[in-house]
Amino acid sequence: MATIKRTPLYEEHLKAEAKVIDFGGWEMPVQYAGILEEHRTVRNRAGLFDVSHMGEIEVRGVQALDLVNQLITNDAAKLADNQILYSPMCNDQGGIVDDLLVYRYTAEHFLLVVNASNTDKDYAWMLRHSDAYDAQLTDISAGTAQLALQGPLAQDILQTLTPTDLSDIKYYWFAQGKVAGVDCLISRTGYTGEDGFELYFAPQFAVQLWQDILVAGKPVGVEPIGLGARDTLRFEACLPLYGNELGENISPLEAGLGMFVQLGKADFVGKHALEEQKADGINRKIVGFAMLDRGIPRSHYPVAVNGQEIGFVTSGSYSPSLDKNIGLGLVDTKFATVGQEIEVIVRGKGLKAKIVPKPFYRRQR
């Protein structure tokens, strides 16, 4: 039996009376005060997430850029130092091995941030494709803790703890600096649809940094946020989740991630399959829908039109921000148009829903 893993903040979560669950082999807080309340805290103020379970893989060497570009579908050659990009990483069939963030320190030094439950698989996959390159891959996940501070007040709060001018860090850029005296990679990224930062640092400082940020944010109502609200937040913003919208049998083109697939760049894993798919046209596509009948769509529920199955729900939930029941689904392209009425099969009953534009939620800038 695989041993269950804990982040350096496990005891802090228990102290905060979190409900802890097994999440892909990690004992993680799913909620503290309650998912709805936590969701609203992030949308209206700011919330602090322990995301130390995420995987971090470092790439170093004179051909680091070439190796990264061979692995991902987006083009890392577009990155300047201290810039970040999002990309799928595909298999030869064009299915998605994982989706990741690519941080460029220099052309010879990158950091790849991957999904926790995929870390081992990803690292093995990367190693397997690295032989021809003068570059070293290192899984530094165990030596890396990560916190995310997300919400409209995130910058104001974090600025009180760091000499780095946060307004200089644009969306999808990063800086290296001290936060509460701790050396951090400060990244303006997130998975909530709000402005915010993600901090990477050494695990021995996790408890101190966690406490310092909560104390600094207390006057404006910052609270710890669990994985439950992390999911409803990312879902409203239509940020895909690996295992739901993304998987080994779903291509980035089907997942609506075409803008992160650069077919113009030199060879990369999956390029041929994706070129073919693009030329032939995709047969299915991720769409957003809103329920018309009463009922909550859940992942794997079938989707039908006129009694004929056309796909399935990938994510579905009550949306706290919209006060509606909404979902994302992978459906036959023929029916994937806004305004199309569909049926979601909930406990054997077809409930009416309608395809709507994505994302469901967009923050006010």
Partner 1 sequence: MMTPTNLKYTKEHEWVKIDGNKVTIGITDHAQHALGDVVFVELPNVGDTLEEGKPFGVVESVKAVSDVYAPVSGKVITINEALLDTPETVNQAPYEAGWMVEVELSDLTQLNDLIDAAAYEAFLKEEE
Q: Contact positions toward partner 1, by CB under 8 A? A: 19, 30-31, 34-36, 228, 231-232, 294-296, 298, 317-318, 320, 325, 347
CA 189 to chain CA centroid, nearest Å = 10
Q: What's the closest the beta carbon of residue 296 comes to partner 1, in angstroms?
A: 5
Closer to partner 1 at the Cβ: 263 or 296? 296
Tokens of 163: 């000499």
The CA-to-CA distance between both ends of the chain, in Å, stands at: 48
In sequence order, which residues have a C-beta less than 8 Å from that of residue 138 and are 6 or more positions away? 57, 58, 60
Collapsing DSSP states into helix, strand and coil, what is residue 213? helix
Q: What's the closest the beta carbon of residue 125 comes to partner 1, in angstroms?
A: 30
CA–CA distances in Å: residue 280 to residues 259, 268, 276? 18, 20, 6
Q: What's the closest the beta carbon of residue 348 comes to partner 1, in angstroms?
A: 12
Closer to partner 1 at the Cβ: 36 or 304? 36
Residue with tokens 């994706």, as numbered in its chain: 274
Closer to partner 1 at the Cβ: 170 or 298? 298
Closer to partner 1 at the Cβ: 23 or 260? 23
Collapsing DSSP states into helix, strand and coil, what is residue 279? helix
Closer to partner 1 at the Cβ: 218 or 298? 298
Residue type, 16: A
Collapsing DSSP states into helix, strand and coil, what is residue 13? helix
Burial of 290 (0-12, 13-18, 19+ CB in 10 A): middle
Q: What's the closest the beta carbon of residue 21 comes to partner 1, in angstroms?
A: 9
Collapsing DSSP states into helix, strand and coil, what is residue 58? strand
Q: What's the closest the beta carbon of residue 37 comes to partner 1, in angstroms?
A: 8
Closer to partner 1 at the Cβ: 70 or 315? 315
Q: What's the closest the beta carbon of residue 339 comes to partner 1, in angstroms?
A: 25
